[in-house]
Every structure is written in C-alpha cells, then in structure tokens.
Amino acid sequence: MLKKIVVGLLAAVVAGLLIACFVSPFVAAQSLIRAARTGDAAGLERHVDFPAFRASLKSELNARAALEIRHRAGGDTGLAALGMLLAPSLVDGAVDNFVTPQAVAAMVRSGEKPRPERPVPATDTPAAPKSEIHQSWAYRGFDRFAVTLTRDDQPDDALVLVLERRGMFDWKLAGVDLTPDPMG
C-alpha cells in the first residue's frame, strides 16, 4: 500500500515537472509582452538576453540588407559590392547603439518588424491595440520557442521573437527571425 502511494506521488511530481517545463515558455512570452506593453524596463531586462538579441538582430538585418542591395543594384556589381561592404558596419553600429529595453518594448508593442534602414523603432512608438496584433506560439526545438506577432494591417510582415531556454523553466528573448520559414 505504501509503495503504491510513493509511486503515485513520484509519478505526480514527474508529471507536474513535465507540464511546468512545457508551459514555461508560454508564461515567459506573456510576461515579456506584458512588460513591453506596460513599459516595465526592469521586467524587460529580466526577460531579454541583450547580447544574444543584438547578435541575432545584426545577423538578420545584415542578411536582409544584402538581399535588398542585390535587388536594388540590379546588374551593377560594383555598386552591390560597395553596398555589401558598408551595410554591415552601419547595421552593427545602429543595433549596438539603439537596442535598449525601451526599443525592445517599442518593437513588441508595435508588432513591427525591424528593417535595415530602421533597426529599432522609436521609443515613443505607440502600442498597437491588442485586438490588432495576433500572437501565435511554436516550439522550434526543446530549447527554442518562437512568438509570432502579426498585425492586422501587415499580415505578411510578421515579427518573430525567439526565446531560448536558460535553465529548466527560465526563458529569455535571445533572437529575432526576420525571414521565417513558412514550413515551421
């Protein structure tokens, strides 16, 4: 009898841990969004790994800038090469200087995707009404979780925030995906 109780308690504890492990990124994502909407800089600092987020944003913006430069340069390889040479330093400097808790909050509040020419929104960017921004969530592996924010007025331009596990139940915003894979 005692053995059955111990086994039952142990099974309940393991099930509880698995459920908590599964639910933890959803809770972290909602905490991040709530902190952004209320302008809670301290809360954002707890939920964002700024060095990892900056590195991810630089990589994504540089890739988008390269595509844009190739597209706009047409067949002029000299112009494209000059653009490819200058763009990374401009993007890197802008991201290093302007990615702050307030800028991350503005990005999440507005639901707008960063662009190479405007890597972070102005800190006074107004929040889009909650009803105009749709959220979707998806695991991208055991330690990665994506929160997709889609605006009603820009349905094909979703902002994908990537959270990474930093412990069993702790998740931090560590990246952004500006070119999401439509298959997941």
Query: Using the 8-state DSSP alphabet, how is residue 40 labeled?
Result: -
Chain position carrying tokens 């972070």: 120
Amino acid at the residue 100:
T
CB 104 within 8 A of CB 62: no
Q: Compute how many other C-beta atoms are within 10 angstroms of the C-beta atom of residue 136.
A: 11
- The pair phi, psi for residue 79, each rounded to 5°, is -65, -40
* Helix, coil or strand: residue 171: strand
Model pLDDT, residue 131: 78
**Furthest C-alpha separation in the chain:** 81
pTM for the full model? 0.79
Per-residue pLDDT of the chain (184 residues; tens, 9 = 90+): 788 898 888 999 999 888 988 999 999 999 999 999 888 888 889 999 999 999 998 888 878 777 777 766 666 666 566 666 566 666 777 777 778 888 888 888 888 877 766 666 766 777 777 778 889 999 999 999 999 999 888 888 888 999 999 988 899 999 998 875 544 4
